Structure 1
Amino acid sequence: MFKDNWIHELARLEEQHEPCVMVTVLEDRGSVPRDAGTKMLVTRDNIIATIGGGHLEHVASKMAREMLLSGEQSLKVERFNLGARLGQCCGGMATLSFEPIGTAQKHLVLFGAGHVAKALVHIVATLPLG
């Protein structure tokens, strides 16, 4: 699923509590498919927008899905030599960031069993905690 307006799709994913990884072209040198600032969202089942297709996008989407499956929550930055590493004819260099969004688990620890804690349990039960 390719869409150009990734920001609206990101808002929709957040509303649906669907985690994704935002892949951003941070730096482009030489001939590359897309310029710095280009973004792509990767969910478990979809790709929203594009960083240019080809082997770079294939590898980036695979890395993003692996991050989702493992529950990775840290930003990653990776540099790709499109000619030597990926065999793409454009041959430039692209630096990508991989930013997990919506993957953080929310936890609440409640201590005590008094009347205040018992009252809080009913309120906490209405919160969107995973």
Structure 2
Amino acid sequence: MRILLLTALLLPCLPTFAVEKSTAFFSVFPSECIASQKGEVCILPITLTYPKMSSSEQCLHINNRLLGCWLPDQLPTKYRLELEADSTLTLKSGDDGKAPSVMLKVKYRKASTHRRRVRNPWSLF
């Protein structure tokens, strides 16, 4: 009982640290697309978040194929992608060698036709 009372009294005295949401990284939400079956094109509307960038032109690439180039204040925050397989979305600029990228995955709804047996084929009784 004393320990609980002591903890309750000391808890407000401990320093607290505020955690700020940081947009320091290039991110995409959602990063997974669900198609009904393998081989079908999956349409993925995404929301993009960008880090602080220089004033040079920024380009979006998917699997090294150019989607478009924009100035930093004109970069799209929403974009619609058509995926057939797992892909890499990359934000490239002309002035530096570092290019942040995000992996986009494609998953399928249709389960395999093979079913696992639920119970053993034999019994002791």
- Same-fold call, TM > 0.5? no
TM-score normalised by structure 2 residue count = 0.32
TM-score (norm 1): 0.31
Higher helix share: 1
